[in-house]
Homo-oligomer: A and B are copies of this chain.
């Protein structure tokens, strides 16, 4: 038979079982955390009509999109989870309760140039709160709490949630008389972390900003201190522009709720340089950086927008949302050696090795362990003892249960803890309890070490 060489396309992540177990753990943690904040799961098709998906049109997106015809239909693969959400909310407007809070963890597709760490198929994990006509600031204030719990539950500790408000920036530019240049200026100052103040100033001059005003802008975004000190310093600009004043009020509300939301001060920072490149953010904007890995950039970003679905409906649907690029994050964590080996990544907690030809007792024990919630693999191959133990080692199973004639006649099982090497012989019920306790303890570990 002619054989085809098996391969997986470049830019597509496909993990070995132990890594996949860690990825699943991350996704489960995200699901649980998002649900804790009242977000409903949503699942939309990966394929949409191109005219729907590209309603906004233009730009990089359209070049990267996977687009094709099937029959007479012009189809595209989704390139993010925001456009499908907009479509969903516009389509089901009458049947949804607002504010509508949804999370979605799903694959999206972008035909980017293939390079290491860049993916063409990747998971995004998004949450959004969508209001009908209006949406209270409390929703924006809650986002840092969600980011904080998400990352701490994953095991990260050294991270900072950086927050700004687009109204603060827009209002400030307005009273400098630079409203028409606001978008350019924001794109420029967004880069200051990477390019430095001098280069940033030069770019501002290129944008057509006068030297005086460029200095004023740099002074403004350099305001330093604690969140309280920064808010205090911003008060000096109050009373000159309504948008600015509203933005400052919102920023104060977001920073003000942190203790009640359980977010420690050291994981939060008001950062006036954050603008987010996208034009549609209109209020609070968020970025999250790993303190010891600033080179990775933001691992969780988003913000407040005023019109989710303007391309589909005349209903005004403001919202706030954040997104984690999960596949890239996983890639980076693996590369940095930050995935914990403490967690059980084996497909089972127990491997049962029947040592007799009558395997009925071994099956009974398997059923008993499974009833106790223990993931149990029953080894059914006719191999030598050494090969069986080698299999146990290879899958990294925490416990092996031996079922020989002696054990069967005595009504017990022999258990080996593969980590410590310790062995014990007990009745199956008692053994199940000891095993369950041990794996529950190991199960409380975090998937990321930081």
Contact = CB atoms under 8 A, between A and B. Distances in A.
Interface stretch (A209-217, A271-279, A367-375): A367-375
B145 A92 contact: no
A15 interface: yes
B52 A7 contact: yes
Contact of A12 (B5, B24, B47): B47
B49 A9 contact: yes
Q: Copy number in this complex?
A: 2
A410 to B, nearest CB: 19
Interface in A1-47: 1, 3-9, 12-17, 20-21, 23-24, 35-47
Interface stretch (A164-172, A222-230, A280-288, A308-316): A308-316
B46 A107 contact: yes
Contacts of A14: 43-45, 88
A75 B7 CA distance: 13
A66 interface: yes
A160 to B, nearest CB: 20
Contacts of A92: 16
B20 A136 contact: no
A266 interface: no
A5 B38 contact: no
B136 A380 contact: yes
Given A136-B382, A137-B380, A367-B261, A347 B5 contact: no
A381 interface: yes
Nearest to A354: B138
Given A3-B313, A121-B45, A360 B9 contact: no
Interface of A: 1, 3-9, 12-17, 20-21, 23-24, 35-49, 51-52, 55, 66, 68-71, 73, 75, 86-88, 90-92, 95-99, 101-102, 107, 109, 111, 120-121, 131, 134-139, 141-142, 145, 149, 257, 260-262, 309-314, 347-348, 351, 359-361, 363-364, 366-367, 370-371, 373-378, 380-382, 391, 394-395
6 contacts: A6-B87, A14-B44, A66-B70, A68-B68, A71-B111, A260-B367
